[in-house]
Structure 1
C-alpha cells in the first residue's frame, strides 16, 4: 500500500459527468486526501447533482460562473478561480482527466503554480483538428508531469510526439472499474427493464449529444431519421439530453422523436443497466465506446472521427450521420445472440480494472518526490 497522503492534498479538477464517472474510484481510494474541485462546466441538479449523489462523491469545492459560456470564457474563468484556490490551499498534486475545458484549466493552473500535474487518460488522439477536445488533450499532455496512458497505443502516440518515456505510465482506463462498480445487479437491471417495458436483447439504446451532431440541423435530422426508421423494427430508447432536446425543437424535428422511446437523462447506474442488455447501442459518446468493451455489446459510433480506435477492432463501427448509420445498425442487430456472446467473451482493450490503484501509487510517489517540471 502507498503511504497515506495528507487530507485534501490531491486536487482533482473536473467539470463534466464523464469525469465524475471516471474519477469516482480514484477519489474513493484517495479518501480524505482527495479535494474534488468542480468547475461547473456541466452542472445542474438533474444531471451533475444526481451523478454526485449516485456515485457517492464527497461534496466538491464549486467554482462559479462557468457553465453555459463559450470555451474561451470557461477556461479563463476557471483558471482564475483555480489559481486563487491553489494559492490559498496549495495541493501536492493536481489530477485532471481527459480532454475537457475543465481539465485544460486545471492543467494550466497547476503549471502556473508549479504544482505537479497528473493527466489521467493521456495520449488519446483523433488527429481531427476540428475537435476542440483534440486541442485540449494535446495541450494537457504537454504540461503533464505524469501521463497515465490507458493503452499501449496511447503511449505510442505520446512517444511519437516526443514526450519523454519516463513520464508515461500505462495504467489502463478507469472506466473499466467504473463499469464494474456501478453496474446494478441482475435483479435491479431486470426491474429497470420491466419498468420501461423492455426485454433483454430486444431494443436499441441511443445517445446523441456532441455539438457536431446537435448543432448542425442536417446532421441531427439524419440521425433521428435513421433512428426513427429503425424503431419500426425494434424499440429504440433515447435518453434525451436537455441541450439535444432544445436543438431538436429549434430545428423543427420533434416529429422524428415520436417513434422513439424518449426518456429523461439517466443516472450512470440506470444507463449501464440499459446498456448491459441492449441488442445494440448507437452513440456519439467517447465514454460509451469504452463502456461497450466492458459490457460486451455492439456499438455504432456516429461521428466524423474517434480518438478510441481500440474499440473499433471488435466492438464498434464508425459512421457519419445518414443512411450509413441505418445500414450499420442493422448489421449490428444481425449479429444476434452468437455475436453478442463473442463480444462478451473478449477482454476490454482498456485494461483490467486496476487503473485507479496504479494511479494512487503514482500520486503517492509524486507527492514524496522533489518536484521538477516536465520542461
Structure 2
C-alpha cells in the first residue's frame, strides 16, 4: 500500500493530547510533507508534549492558544474559532481527527463548517455511559465524519446500528498496534530500564490513574491508593503519577498513601511501553493502555465504571473493576496465574488489528483527496 501523492500541507491532522500524538504519529510520517499537524494545546507543555513530539519524530505543529486548562466548553469553542480561521486561510483537502477528545470534536466541527471532508480515526467506540464527556464527543464526530476508520468489526457494527451508511465505514484496525510495535525498546534497553528502577521482569505492578471519575472524587482516589499500597507489601508497585493526579492527591491530603509506592515522573512513550511489557500486572483507568496491553501481551485491571474497548475484556487481557478492594483481588488473581498466564496472553493476537491501520488510512485519504479534486475540476468545467 504505497503512500498517496498529496500536495504539501493538504491534510490537516488536529490533535490536542499526548495519546493522540502517539496514535497518529505513524500516519503523519507516512503522509510526509502532506501532513499539517495542528495541536490545540488541550494538553501541552514543553516537558511532556514537546518530549513526545521529539521521541515520535513528528514535525513542530501549528499550536493554538489559550485552550489548555480551560473548561470543556471553552476548550471546544476556542479551538473551533481558531481552527475555522486557520482553515479559511489555508483550506486543506481533508481534516483528520483521532479518538474522542475535545480537540477532536473541535476539529470535526471546524471541518464540517467549512465543508472539508472529515476522517475520523478510531470511529465507533462506545461506552454507553452518558456521564463520560468523551462519549458525547465521539458520537457527534461519527455523525459528522465522511470517512469513519473503525478499529474493529464490533465498532463498525455499532456505527451501523446508529444508521451510519456502510459506505462511509472502513475497518482499518487501530493505529495503536503499529505505535507499540515501532516504539517498544529493544530487549537490552528494557533490561537496563528495569535495572535502573530496581525491579525484575514479571515481579512488579505498574499503575496509572488520571480519569476525573477516579481523581476528582477523594474517596475513589483514596480507595485506589490504599489498594496499591496494600499490593506494595507483596511486590513493588511503580506508580506513574500524572500531574493532574498529583494535584488531586495533594489537595485531598492523601500524599501519605504514596509512601509505599515507587513514584515515577512522567514517562516517555518508549519508557512506558518497556515497563508495561514486563509488568506482572498493570492497573490503570486509561483507554489507550487497554489497547496497548493487548499488543504487549500483559494482564490489565481497568479501574473504571465502563469501557468503550470491550474487545480487550472479551479477549482475556483485561477486566473492569470499581475503586476499592476488588482492585487488589483482581491483581492477585492475575498474579496467581503465574508464568503460565503470562505465556497464554503473549500467544493471543491483539483484537485491535495487524499493524497496518495507518497505511490503510493513508490510502483512504489519497482516494478522498483525489475524489474531491476531480469534483472540483468538474465543477470548474
* TM-score relative to the length of structure 2: 0.97
The number of residues matched between the two structures is 372
Q: Which residue of 1 aligns with 2:320?
A: 318
CA distance in 2, matches of 1:353, 1:154: 17
Alignment of 1:189-228 (within 5 A): 189-228=190-229
Matched, 1:305 2:306: yes
Distance 1:273 1:245 in 2: 23
The separation in 2 between residues aligned to 1:3 and 1:31, in whole angstroms, is 10
CA distance in 2, matches of 1:290, 1:345: 16
Measured in 1, the distance between the counterparts of 2:207 and 2:34 equals 38
Match of 1:332 in 2: 334
Q: Secondary structure at the match of 2:371?
A: coil
Q: Distance in 2 between matches of 1:79 and 1:25?
A: 25
Task: Report how far residue 47 of structure 1 moved.
Answer: 1.3
Shift of residue 2, structure 1, vs aligned partner: 4.7
CA shift for structure 1 position 3: 3.7
Distance of 1:154 and 1:334 partners within structure 2: 33
- In 2, the alpha carbon distance for the partners of 1:130 and 1:329 equals 27
1:253 corresponds in structure 2 to 254
Matched, 1:370 2:366: no
Matches of 2:3 and 2:225 in 1, distance apart?
50
Paired residue for 1:40?
A: 41
Change (3 A) 1:275 1:3: closer
CA shift at 1:370, angstroms?
A: 3.1
Q: Give 1:133-282 correspondences, 5 Å limit.
A: 133-282=134-283
Give the match for residue 356 of structure 1. Answer: 358
1:311-338 alpha-carbon deviations (Å, 9 max, x no partner): 0021001000001111111111111111
Deviations 1:165-208 (A, max 9, x none): 00000000000000000000001101111111111001000000
2:372 partner SS: coil
C-alpha distance in structure 2 between counterparts of 1:334 and 1:57, whole Å: 42
Stretches of structure 1 that go unaligned for 5 or more consecutive residues are none
Q: Secondary structure at the match of 2:20?
A: helix
Q: Which residue of 2 aligns with 1:4?
A: 5
Write the mapping of 1:67-146 to structure 2, written as runs, cut at 5 A.
67-146=68-147
Aligned counterparts of 1:126 and 1:52: Cα–Cα separation in 2: 30
Deviates more, 1:122-131 or 1:3-12: 3-12
Cα distance in structure 1, aligned partners of 2:104 and 2:21:
12
Distance (Å, rounded) in 1 between the aligned partners of 2:165 and 2:223? 44
Cα-Cα RMSD:
0.8
Distance, in Å, in 2 between the alignment partners of 1:367 and 1:334 is 53
Q: Deviations 1:277-321 (Å, cap 9, x if unpaired)?
A: 000000000000000000000000000000000000210010000
**Offset, 1:144:** 0.1
Is the 8 Å Cα contact of residues 93 and 372 (structure 2) preserved in structure 1?
no
How far apart in 1 are the matches of 2:364 and 2:279?
37
Aligned residue number for residue 378 of structure 2: none
Whole-Å Cα distance in 2 between the matches of residues 133 and 104 of structure 1?
Answer: 9
Which moves more between the two structures, 180-189 or 46-55?
Answer: 46-55
